[in-house]
Amino acid sequence: MKEATDSISHTSLSSSSPYAITYTPYTSSGTCKTASQVATDVTTIARKGFTAIQLYATDCNALPHVSAAARKHTLRLILGIYVDASGTHSGIVQEQLRTITSWAASSPSHWETVDLIIAGNEALFNDFVSPSDLATFINHVRNTLHRAGYEGPVTTAEPVNVLRQHAAALCDALDVLAPNLHPFFHNDVAAQDAGSFALEQMALVKGLCGGGKEVLALEVGWPSRGARNGVAVPGVVEQKTAVRGMVSAIGARASFVSFEDDGWRDPGDFGVEQAWGCVELF
């Protein structure tokens, strides 16, 4: 694999600027938002000072709707290809790749708006794939999209402990290191310490793969409600404190989760999975 030299556009931002925010084009009940609703959301994201929007997948016409709205505000895109329990060879995965390449082919300038492609989100953490299969998939995505004209970086998103455990298998396939950082899920990290913790985790990841790859923190945030996890307490005040600390510490290198609460998700561990909406804090 070639050594990636592509630089993500956020490198010129100040240390306190928020780079990106995650976005899913669903209503609270799980139905797809209309193009008009998406455009309104994207306008809000732009007004809040973000540089980019992160998508997890291409369903709900997310790519054409979000990209059209983002272009009006000169917002960048981080595109995701979601991998579920059916694995990397599933029809769902291949359809996402086709959607992205078709979208790019529809306008020669589309690739110019894309900062990063994320091939799989916590696929290893969820035991959906093996490390070798994921590395092969990342390379497949890169080769497919390079043939379609994309020249930017490709990576995958995993928690820090997973990246550290499987660095030997993944490093050669990754152009950028992209850990999902969730201080809340560490029971010894309080909201006021979220920023310093995130910075320490970034430093740990930076040391992987020889220390020469860029690090972009994904899924950085704090829940506004749910059950406590040791000294990690969810809440409106705590979320504001934690997010402020993380913006100050790593804001220019982070994608904050999420635009709004995702009522369609399962509540999950500690009942917090629906409660990460944070755009109003910016």
> Is 122 among the residues known to form the active site?
yes
Sorted by where each begins, the domain ranges of the chain are 15-281
Q: For residue 8, is pLDDT > 90?
A: no
**Is 7 a residue whose pLDDT tops 60?**
no
Its pTM surpasses 0.75: yes
Which residue is catalytic, options 158, 214, 219, 238?
219
Q: What confidence tier does 91 reach under pLDDT thresholds 50, 70, 90?
A: very high
Measure Cα distances from 205 to 75, 159, 164, 212 in Å: 27, 10, 7, 11
Just give the CATH number of 15-281.
3.20.20.80
As a whole-number percent, the residues of the chain with pLDDT over 90 amount to 94
- On average, the pLDDT of the chain sits at 94
Average pLDDT over residues 25-31: 94
> Strands (DSSP E) along the chain, which ranges?
20-23, 52-55, 76-81, 114-121, 154-159, 178-180, 217-220, 254-256
Q: pLDDT tens, 151-209?
A: 999 999 999 999 999 999 999 999 999 999 999 999 999 999 999 999 999 999 999 99
d(CA 25, CA 83): 18
CA proximity to 270, closest of 158, 193, 186:
186
Set 122, 158, 214, 238: catalytic member: 122
pLDDT at residue 10, as a whole number: 41
- The pLDDT of 102-123, averaged and rounded, is 96
User: How confident is the model at residue 1, as a pLDDT?
Assistant: 35
pLDDT, position 17: 77
CA distances from 149 to 73, 85, 130, 143, 169 (A): 24, 29, 29, 10, 27
The b-or-e profile of 54-74 (16+ CB within 10 A means b, else e) is bbbbbbbebbbbbbebbeeee
